[in-house]
Structures are given as structure tokens and as C-alpha cells.
Amino acid sequence: MPMSFLASPPQVLCLGEALVDRLGPLGGDPAIDSLWDDRLGGAPANVACALARLGTPAAFLGRLGRDGIGQAFAELFAERGVDTRALQWDGSHPSRIVLVRRDDQGDRQFGGFAGDDGAGFADQALDTTELAAALGPLLATARWLLVGTIPLASPFAASALGLACRQAAAAGVALALDVNWRPTFWDPAADPTSGPSPAQITAMEPLLRQAALVKCAAEEARWLFGSADPAVVCAALPQHPDVVVTDGGAPLRWCFAGRSGELSAFRVPVVDTTGAGDAFTAGLLHGLLHDPVRRQPGQLLRFASACGALVCQGAGAIDPQPSSDTVRAFLANRV
């Protein structure tokens, strides 16, 4: 498998899953329909690719099978210029395929997996020893470590995630947490709309208490904090992180450095919402790296929101990701 990395050291390390989103037809079911659309995805992989497209050097830290999906990701990362020094290869477990149902408006719901031979998927087997060997040089130059909660659903991946978070803290690298609650990863038979159990919330708490930036959907905030108000989320955590709460097409709400506000969503024709939140996260981290003291959070979030809106207008999470020039052109045509 080829290895790639940017000439510039990565400023954001994205740890977690890289997988295929098998998109069913609008209003259909990819588990039974003969027509589907396979797209490379997985939130951390999406964010790494989106950052690279925006011009921010990024690395992907994860594990893929030695299969066609892994090869496709290797080629994608090389094309985008994503650093893959911490990408692990698994000869025993396949890369994961996620079945994604889409309603008539393009909104998606995760509904199980394909490609497993009964022994689990490569992303579940993320190896702590391999990761530890790769982390040192990456953390020496990184400014952010981006993670989600999906690795917590698998013991090996959870252990590797914990190691990365501890080493990031020791190196002074800030943690960005996109909660990205997906019950099917914890239990394939779970209701895709169900919230986390008390034990699952307890597993998330170390990430929540370390994060300098927390991004969550409104329902995730209610499950975890009893409120979708980002100021309440910020106050509930000892480090008082910056918080962004998204709510689909409703205005997103934010609390940055004690200042709160909201931003209406851009109205665009929607083809597929898969990966829009990840493009938003990439846009936000890109902006924070250029404005680390958060002087103008409204402008940061407007840029990030435009990244998400542009991804909604194409199929899949990665192909429609915009460049910085495309985002600026989009914003120039919006009041």
C-alpha cells in the first residue's frame, strides 16, 4: 500500500474510522435494494480529507483491511496529501461497510454493516503499540487531535484512543471532540435513533473532560447534558471548552470563550447530508488554526457552515468537499 504525507507537518491528527458508506436510493434500503452507491467515508477520514482540501495539513490515524477498500483509501489519501504515517494495515479483518438509508430529502440513518466475516472489522482492531510508535513525531508538530466516540465501542480501539488522548495532553496538543453518537457501532441491533446508556456516557466522560472543543448535535447535547444550550454544556465541563451544537437545518448555536450566539443554516439544494457535519468540523478547525484567539467566532462558524452546505449538494462525504477558494466564492454570494 502506498504511503503519503504533506511536505508541511500535519497540524490536525484525525483518529478513528475509515469505512465505506453504502448509500441506498432515496427512500430505499441498501440492505435489500440492488442499486446503491458506495462512497468512502468515516468521520475522522472525512475530516482529514476535508482539511487537506482546504489547505490545512492533516494526518489520519486508523486501521484498514488489506482489501479493495483499503487500497481505495490509500489512493485517496495520497491524492489529497493526507499524512498516513500512523495508518495501520490489517490482514485479518476487513474494512467496514456501513449501510446508510436516505429519506426522500437526503437525510440519512445508519442501519447496520456489511463486509464482516464474523471476526470484526479492521477499525475495531486499532493497535495501541503501533499507534504509540507513530504518535511521537506527529504530536511534535500537531495543534489539534480530533476524535469521536465510535472507537470507544471496541476494546482495542478504545485503548488506542485513550493512549492518543493521554499523549496529546502531555504534548500540549488540544483535543477536539465530535461526539458523533452512532448506536449501531455499539450494538448492530440497536435502534439507530436511541441515545447512549449510562455506561456508554461514562465511557465518553474522559473525552468530554479533556476536549478544548466539543461539537455535538442537539439531541446528543440533551442526552449528555440535559440541554441543547451550548452555554450549559460549557458550564457543565471543568475546562469550559468551546462548544458548537448543530441541529440539522435549524440554526446552530455556539459558546466560544464565554460568548454565545447562533447562526442560521444556509439554504441549498440537498443531494445527500452524509459528511456535511464532518466538512463543518474541518472548516471550523481550519478557521481556528488561522484565528487561534477566536476573535470572530461568527465568521469562523459561517465559514464552517458553508463547508457543510457545499458537501450537502453532492453525493457522498468526500467527493463534494470544497477548497478554501470555493468556500469563499460561496460566501461572497450570500449576504
> Average pLDDT over the chain, rounded to whole?
91
Question: Has residue 111 got a pLDDT over 70?
Answer: no
pLDDT at 106: 46
The Cα–Cα gap between 234 and 236 comes to: 6
Cell of 57: 495539513
Name residues whose C-beta falls within 8 Å of residue 6's C-beta, 6 or more positions apart in sequence: 52, 57, 81, 82, 83
**Angle at the Cα of 113 (from 108 to 118), degrees rounded to 5?**
170
pLDDT at 179: 98
Q: With b meaning 16 or more CB within 10 Å and e meaning fewer, what string describes 96-122?
A: bbbbbbbeeebbbebbbbebeeeebbb
Question: Has residue 183 got a pLDDT over 70?
Answer: yes
Phi, psi (degrees; rounded to nearest 5) at 121: -110, 160
Mean pLDDT score, 179-194:
92
Whole-number percent of the chain with pLDDT over 70: 90
Task: Find out whether 217 and 178 touch, Cβ atoms under 8 Å.
Answer: no
- Residue scoring higher pLDDT (249 or 143): 143
Task: Find out whether 210 and 196 touch, Cβ atoms under 8 Å.
Answer: no
- Residue scoring higher pLDDT (280 or 294): 280
The Cα–Cα gap between 56 and 81 comes to: 10
**Angle at the Cα of 51 (from 46 to 54), degrees rounded to 5?**
125
- Residue scoring higher pLDDT (169 or 116): 169
DSSP string spanning 164-231?
HHHHHHHHTPEEEEE----HHHH-TTS-TTPPPPHHHHHHHHHHHHH-SEEEEEHHHHHHHHS---HH
pLDDT at 293: 64
Question: How far are the Cα atoms of 50, 108, 184, 311 from residue 320, in angstroms, in the given order?
Answer: 9, 17, 26, 5
Question: Has residue 5 got a pLDDT over 50?
Answer: no
CA 118 to chain centre: 26
- Residue scoring higher pLDDT (108 or 176): 176
Q: Work out whether the CA dihedral 42, 165, 183, 65 comes out positive or negative.
A: positive
- Residue scoring higher pLDDT (271 or 297): 297
Instruction: Tell me if residue 90 falls in helix, strand or coil.
Output: strand
* Fold of the CATH domain 12-326: UDP-N-acetylmuramoyl-L-alanine:D-glutamate ligase (3.40.1190)
Question: How far are the Cα atoms of 135, 145, 222, 225 from residue 130, in angstroms, in the given order?
Answer: 9, 17, 36, 35
Nearest Cα neighbor of 274 from 216, 317, 329 is 317
Widest Cα–Cα separation across the chain: 52
The Cα–Cα gap between 64 and 208 comes to: 27
Task: Find out whether 288 and 332 touch, Cβ atoms under 8 Å.
Answer: no
Question: How far are the Cα atoms of 137, 234, 263 from residue 260, in angstroms, in the given order?
Answer: 36, 10, 11
pLDDT at 35: 66
Question: Has residue 308 got a pLDDT over 70?
Answer: yes
Would the pTM count as exceeding 0.85? yes
Domain ranges of the chain: 12-326
pLDDT at 335: 67
Q: Residue 137: pLDDT band by 50, 70, 90 thresholds?
A: very high
* pLDDT tens digit sequence for 233-252: 999 999 999 999 999 889 99
Task: Find out whether 283 and 303 touch, Cβ atoms under 8 Å.
Answer: yes
The Cα–Cα gap between 63 and 74 comes to: 11
